[in-house]
Amino acid sequence: MSHWFHRNKLKGTIAQKFDGKGIAVKTPADKMLQDLRSTRANLLQLFTDEVATPETVMEKANAYFELLVGLSDVESSDNKLRYSFRFKWSDSLVMDGKPEVLQDAQFELASMMLEVAIWTSKYGARVSAKEAISEDDAKEILKLFKKAAGIFQAISTQAERLLDKPEQGTDLDHHILDCYMLQSKAEAQEVTIARAVQIKHKSSLIAALANDTKHFFEEADKQLAAIKKDEVVGKWRKYLQLKIAFYDSYTWCYQGVTELEKEECGTAVKCLQYARDQFIYCGKVCEQYKKASGAGNTVHPDKAVFFLNYGTELKRHLEKAERENGFIYHQKIPEKLPELNLKATHGLAEPEVYSLPEKSSRWGPELLAAFDLSEISKREERQEKRSDNREKVPDIKEPDVKVTKDNACYIM
C-alpha cells in the first residue's frame, strides 16, 4: 500500500525556550518552565526518529500536554500566563515554510495536537507500506487511523477556544480539521473493507461498507471545496475524488456480485459495467492528481497492488456475469442501475475518542504565586499577530522509509 495514502507534510516549528526572565521570580516557576521546555523538545525529537513508536509519542505528548494545559488554562478568565510566550508554527498545507506566530499557549496546544495526529496518520501509512503485512500490522494500521481521527476531532474543540478565528485554509480552520478527521475515518474503513474481502464476507456487506466509505470521502472533499483555494488543497482534493470514484466502483462491483447471487443476472451485468466504467475513470483521476497543484507528497495510487488487484477482480466478476447471462439466464440488461438499499450491520470504523490529560497537579496556588505577571499589560497579552512571520520555519526532516516492493494489503 505504499502508493495508496496521500499525506501532507508535518508542521514545522522552532525551539521554545520558555524564557521566564522577568516573570519567573521563584524556583517552582523556573522548574515548570524548564520542564515545559524539555518535554516539548523530547516530543519534537521523536517526529524525526525513524524508530519512534506511537506508544512512545503519545507518552511524551501527554507528558508535555499535562504541563501545557495548565499554562493555557482556558477555564481561567484572568490567566495571563496563557499570553506570556510566543509560539511559531508552519502550516502543513503551505509549501514555503511561512509560519504563523501567536502569543497564545492555546495555539501551541492545538498545533502540537495536530502534529501528533498527522504523525500518527503518517505512521499508519508507513506500516501499510511494508513489503509484507501481518495480521498484527493490519490491526495496528486500523487502530492508528482511528486514533488519528479521534485526535483530529479533539483539536476542533481546542481551536474554537483561540481568541482569534484561524484564517481560512490554514491548519486550524475547522474545514481542514474536519477533512483530516473524515479522511482518517474513511481510511480506517478501507482497512475494514480489505478485511471483509479477504475473509469472504457477504458481498452485500462489502458493498455497504464501500458505499459508506465513499460518502466519508465525499464529506471530506466538501470540507476542502468550502475553502476555495485549489492552489493549496487542489492535490488533496484530487486524492479524495479518486477515492470517491474508486469506492463508487467498489460499491457497484459488489452490488453486482450480490445481484448475480440472487440470479438477477441482467441487473448484475449493469452494475458491473458501471463499476468498470468508474474504475476506468479512476485512472483519469489518478493522472489529474499527479499533475494537480497543492500541498502533499505525490503518490501513485494506480500503481498500488490493491488498486491493480481490484481491477483484475472486477474484470473477472463482469466476465462471469456476462458469460452466465449469455449462456443461462438470457435476461435483458436494464437501462438504469437499481436503487441501492445498503446498510452495513457491522464493520463501521469510528474515531477513537481522545481526551487531553488533566493539567498537572503542580499547577496550584504555590506555583502560580511563583510567577510575577504584574508588568504584563492587556496590550502585551494580546501580541498575537503575525509580527515576525517573515522568518521561515525549517521543515521537519521526516524519516525516509524505503519500500522495496508494494503489498496487496491483505488486511487482517
Nearby residues of 233 by Cβ (< 8 Å), 6 or more positions away = 93, 169, 224, 227, 294, 295
**Residue-averaged pLDDT of the chain:** 90
- pLDDT of 401 > 60? The answer is no
Rg of the chain taking only CA atoms, in angstroms: 25
CB 173 within 8 A of CB 389: no
pLDDT one-digit tens code per residue, 241-264: 999 999 999 999 999 999 999 999
213/45 Cα distance (integer angstroms) = 35
CB within 8 Å of 277: residues ≥ 6 apart = none
Q: Which three cell numbers stand for residue 145?
A: 487511523
Instruction: Output b/e per residue, 276-305; b: 16+ Cβ within 10 A.
Output: bebbeebeebbeebeebebbbeebebbebb
The DSSP annotation for 333-354 comes to PPSSPPPP----SS----PPP-
> What is the DSSP secondary-structure string of 238-281?
HHHHHHHHHHHHHHHHHHHHHHHHTT-HHHHHHHHHHHHHHHHH
Higher-pLDDT residue of 411 and 27 is: 27
Enumerate long-range contacts of 280-288, CB under 8 Å, 24 or more apart: 281/245, 281/249, 282/242, 282/245, 282/246, 282/249, 282/307, 285/238, 285/241, 285/242, 285/245, 286/242, 288/238
CA angle 229, 233, 234 (to 5 degrees): 90
Q: In sequence order, what are the residues at sequence separation of 6 or more whose Cβ sits closer than 8 angstroms to the Cβ of residue 328? A: 265
Phi then psi for residue 102, to 5 deg, are: -135, 140
8-state DSSP, 102:
E
What pLDDT, on the 0 to 100 scale, is given for residue 349?
Answer: 85
pTM, to two decimals: 0.92
DSSP letters along 110-150, please? Answer: HHHHHHHHHHHHHHHHHHHTSSS--HHHHHHHHHHHHHHHH
pLDDT at site 404: 44
Residue 294 has pLDDT above 70, yes or no: yes
Amino acid letter, 226: A
What's residue 164's pLDDT? 86
Separation of alpha carbons 296 and 9, rounded Å: 6
Mean local confidence (pLDDT), 320-327? 95
Q: Return d(Cα 221, Cα 219) in angstroms, integer.
A: 5
What type of residue sits at position 83? Y
How confident is the model at residue 1, as a pLDDT?
Answer: 54
Which residue reads 499554562 in cell numbers? Answer: 71
Nearest Cα to Cα of residue 87 among 117, 119, 60, 114? 114
Which class would CATH give 27-384? Answer: mainly alpha
Is the predicted pLDDT of residue 5 greater than 60, yes or no? yes
Cell 438499499, residue located: 341
**Average of per-residue pLDDT across 281-290:** 96
- The pLDDT tens digits for 358-397 are 999 999 999 999 999 886 654 354 454 444 555 678 788 7
Residues contacting residue 210 through CB under 8 Å, at least 6 positions apart: 193, 247, 250, 251, 254
Residue 219 has φ and ψ, to the nearest 5°, of -65, -40
Q: Return the domain boundaries, the chain.
A: 27-384
DSSP 26-74: SHHHHHHHHHHHHHHHHHHHHTT-TT--HHHHHHHHHHHHHHHHHHH-T
